[in-house]
Amino acid sequence: MSKLKAMRFDTLAVHAGQEPDPLSGAVMTPIVLSSTFAQDGPGKPRAYEYSRTDNPTRRTLEHCLAALEGSKHALAFASGCAAMSTILHVLRPGDHVIACDDLYGGSYRILKKVMGPLGLESTQVDLSDPRRLDEVIRPNTKLVWIETPTNPTLKLIDISAVAERCKSRSIPLVVDNTFATPYLQKPLELGATLVVHSTTKYLNGHSDVVGGCVMTNDSGWHEQLRFLQNAIGAVPSPFDCYLVLRGIKTLHLRMERHVQNAHRVAYFLASHPMVERVIYPGLPSHPQHELAKKQMKAAGGMLSFVVRGGDEVARIALSETSVFTCAESLGGVESLIEMPSIMTHGSIPPEQRKALGIVDGFVRISVGVEDPDDLCEDLDQALRKAGKKNGLL
Ligand code: P1T
């Protein structure tokens, strides 16, 4: 591990936290399924006691995750939502959280419908202008929570600018880095206190795991979260930890191709007769294209667009694709397409969705690593079929 500390991202993705098993020489990390570990006597554990508390496969994943974000600490959870819930359990009734206005529907649900009734106050605000933070900070504000790019309207938030404002008031800043991944964006280097991920997405990359994680350089936060990780117990299985470790080995390769394909699809859709608007931070038409260039290595693999003719036409198009699968989630090698208003963001009130720009015909895609010509042709035939059925072409 220590030898690897100074290595570059691609090397860390393949190796960090992992060494041949000292017992067998196994090159790949063993999946240690045991729920409990022998002790040399009562209260005399060796390295591990009980798998909710700690597990060798999970610890290896946590070391690897810390190396990728360049953090001192990382903790793995059973899902992105479990990671978020565990962080929010550090707060107390009467505390106040500021979140960006555009959030994954499940994150919104935790904030408003799970933690709200337990006494946690929250305010959502458009932080694409960081000055808005000053308008909503209260004496009891204990956390600021942002996604960038946001899900699903792909707004960007200037992490350094928000972090500076938080720091001057000693408020911790959490960045959900799921859409960008540590390959494209490093929030801790830009001043964030905590980084969270749904490892379900790009980190695992193969749509066969649900998982989450939290990374930090703040040992006080780490200790509190480590306590809650064990006490609440929303931990991932050793098998899932192994799969995420395996997925991470190709993170850098996959991200390069996701980005390349997303650019191709973005330009293709931008000139399509059935498309009103394309939202992709990599397009010069994106209002924060300059911030994307400053803050991210590249603009990522997520893209949203508005179909001409509204939801009815979009619904038809989504049932006509054959390379794109109509499904929730993102970040896998396969391309996915969805309508946030009735799928991933159904838990957000309709007026709030409209205000965010999740308008009639709003579609989100996770651009996979297939041949980009096949992706464009698939979208083209589906959109044209939908357009013809509705007399728009
Ligand atoms: O699904 P889970 O692993 O619990 O992760 C929740 C989560 C957290 N943060 C962001 C930015 C996310 O996008 C998600 C999950 N999102 C989807 C399932 C989706 O389709 O948008």
Boundary (domain end) residue, out of 218, 248, 278? 248
Residue 69: predicted pLDDT: 98
Decide whether any atom of ligand 1 lies within 6 Å of the 102 Cβ: no
Domain range enclosing 199: 2-248
Number of C-beta neighbours around residue 333 at 10 A: 16
Residue 152, preceding peptide bond in cis (omega within 30° of 0)? yes
Amino acid making up residue 373: D
Residue 23 CB contacts under 8 Å (≥ 6 apart), including other chains: none
Note whether 49 and 105 are within 8 A (CB). no
- The reported pLDDT for the residue numbered 3 is 61
Q: Are residues 136 and 258 in the same domain?
A: no
Per residue in 205-235, pLDDT (tens digit) is 999 999 999 999 999 999 999 999 999 999 9
Residues in the chain where the model's pLDDT stays below 70:
1-5
Each residue of 97-122: pLDDT tens digit? 999 999 999 999 999 999 999 999 99
- Are 26 and 50 part of one and the same domain? yes
Q: Which of 86, 198, 367 to mutate to test the pocket of ligand 1 (most atoms within 8 A of CB)?
A: 198
**34 and 79 share one domain:** yes
**CATH code, domain carrying 108:** 3.40.640.10
Count of domains forming the chain: 2
**52 is an active site residue:** yes
**Of the residues 54, 59, 101, 104, which is catalytic?**
104
Alpha helices in 321-393 (DSSP H): 350-356, 372-389
pLDDT score recorded for residue 6: 76
CATH code: domain of residue 310? 3.90.1150.10
Give the position, in ligand 1's atom list, of the atom nearest the Cα of 210. Answer: 3
Tell me: do 244 and 272 sit in the same domain. no
Annotated catalytic residue, options 155, 201, 353, 385: 201
- What pLDDT is recorded for position 19? 95
Smallest CA separation from ligand 1 atom 1, residue: 80
Residue 200 CB less than 6 A away from ligand 1: yes
What is the pLDDT, as a whole number, of residue 1?
47
Q: Is the CB of 123 within 6 Å of ligand 1?
A: no
β-pairing, 141-147 vs 96-100, is parallel
The DSSP symbol for 32 reads: -
Does 201 qualify as catalytic in the annotation? yes
Q: What is the per-residue pLDDT for 58?
A: 98
Ligand 1, residue 338: give the atom nearest the CA: 20
Q: Is 104 a catalytic residue?
A: yes
